[in-house]
Amino acid sequence: MKPVALSLLVASLFSTSVAAQELNLYSSRHYQTDEALYSGFTKATGIKLNRIEAGEDPLIQRIRNEGAASPADVLVTVDAGRLWRAEQMGLFQPIESKVLADRLPAHMRAANNQWFGFSARARVIIYNKSAINPAEIQNYEDLANPKLKGKVCTRSGSHIYNLSLMSALIEHLGEAKAEQWAKGVVDNFARAPKGGDTDQIRAVAAGECAVAISNSYYYVRLMKSDKPEDRKVVAATGLIWPNQKSFGTHMNVSGAGVIKTAPNKAAAVRFLEHLTSDSAQTYFASGNNEWPVVKGAPLNNAELASLGNFKMDTLNISALGKNQPVAQKIFDKVGYK
């Protein structure tokens, strides 16, 4: 082999080796414990991790706009609905990994293994202890009961959290019954939807409404707070795990997928596999007061653990995305703004 050809070959091999030791992560997560998650990955693999952090939808749009030239290897974001949207844009590629197949429950692996759920959050019912008998509100369906007229608070129906819940109800109840439910909830509004989930919890504690829908981690944040006003909110309210005698409480995810044009695919797959390790599961979940999804992974979150065990809905996370167009159509139809 000629010296020039040999030098080009060596340079090519060296370039490939260096590239394989980097990972470009686009993430909408911004929790302090994620620092340990990322440094743990680099320590375990020797792979340098480069991060770009922004909001969920802007990151998805950025990858789409960058096209084939995108440096992104992995997208990490929250809510199955957003991950499904990224899939529909053609941003992900299918991943075959024995580690992911063995470690993750089947319902946490989206269709064609294009994206995966790595930690779970519950959509729960929060109630005012002085105004509501929790025995009368054991299911999502109960929120549409006329007995609760003028007593229900929620955030906007266009928000992804509510769209994902509605998507699950469409899957479980059918479109017609899900629409009846949505109309019943609208009829029971104490006020027009506004604010975030924490605002709904505070409104329940203040007596502005008697019940509300919220992601569980917002409630746990208040449980962990040292602020007297937050402690009062927790003392005045209770948490219900809906549908324990039927399909279980709706669960959503923080998740990730490998970008279709990932320049460092091997490193990207190793990162997803790392997220299923016990140490990563602890960091990944506890950073936002969520649950690990790998069976047997330690929780290490006293406040979250204090809420007790409950039956989780095991509906495949893909359904939370594919039903969203219908969910939004129904919400618009019944006036769930």
Look at residue 275 and tell me whether its pLDDT is greater than 60. Answer: yes
Percentage of residues in the chain with pLDDT exceeding 90?
Answer: 88
Give pLDDT, residue 17.
39
Confidence of residue 111 (pLDDT cuts 50, 70, 90): confident
Given a cut of 90, whether residue 1 has pLDDT beyond it is: no
Run of H or E including 175:
helix 175-187
| Triad 282, 258, 326: Cα angle to 5° | 90
What kind of architecture, by CATH, is found in domain 17-120+252-301? 3-Layer(aba) Sandwich (3.40)
What's the pLDDT score for residue 218?
97
DSSP result, 252-287:
EEEEEEEBTT-TTHHHHHHHHHHTTSHHHHHHHHHT
User: What confidence score (pLDDT) does residue 8 get?
Assistant: 36
CATH architecture classification, 121-249+321-334: 3-Layer(aba) Sandwich (3.40)
The whole-angstrom separation of Cα 178 and Cα 163 is 12
Q: Where are the domains of the chain?
A: 17-120+252-301, 121-249+321-334
pLDDT of 252 above 90: yes
Q: Which of 33, 80, 72 is nearest to 54 (CA)?
A: 72
Nearest alpha carbon to residue 216 among 142, 156, 265, 165:
165
Residue 104: the pLDDT is 98
Q: What's the sign of the alpha-carbon dihedral 127, 130, 132, 135?
A: positive
pLDDT tops 90 at residue 15: no
Nearest Cα to 297, choosing from 115, 30, 103? Answer: 103
Over residues 31-46, the pLDDT tens digits come to: 777 888 899 999 999 9
- Per-residue pLDDT at 98: 98
d(CA 89, CA 91): 6
- What's the pLDDT score for residue 284? 85
Question: Does residue 19 have a pLDDT over 80?
Answer: no
Percentage of the chain beyond pLDDT 70 is: 94
Provide mean pLDDT across the span 288-297.
94
pLDDT tens digit sequence for 45-89: 999 999 999 999 999 999 999 999 999 999 999 999 999 999 999
pLDDT surpassing 80 at residue 18: no
Residue of 166, 202, 208, 121 whose CA lies nearest to 320: 166
Q: 237 by DSSP, 3-state: which?
A: strand
The Cα–Cα gap between 153 and 44 comes to 46
At residue 246, the 3 state secondary structure works out as coil
**Predicted confidence (pLDDT) at residue 119 exceeds the cutoff of 90:** yes
10 Å CB burial of residue 313 (0-12, 13-18, 19+) is buried
pLDDT tens-digit readout, 293-331: 999 999 989 999 999 999 999 999 999 999 999 999 999
Beta strand pairing call for 152-153 and 116-128: unpaired
Q: The whole model's pTM is what?
A: 0.90
d(CA 272, CA 74): 9
Strands 211-215, 152-153: pairing is: parallel
What is the average per-residue pLDDT within 168-196? 98
- pLDDT on residue 4: 39
Candidates 267, 335, 331; CA nearest to 73 is 267
Output phi, psi for 257, to 5 deg.
-150, 160
Answer whether residue 3 shows pLDDT above 90: no
Average of per-residue pLDDT across 263-284: 96
Asked if the domains at 17-120+252-301 and 121-249+321-334 fall in one CATH topology, the answer is yes
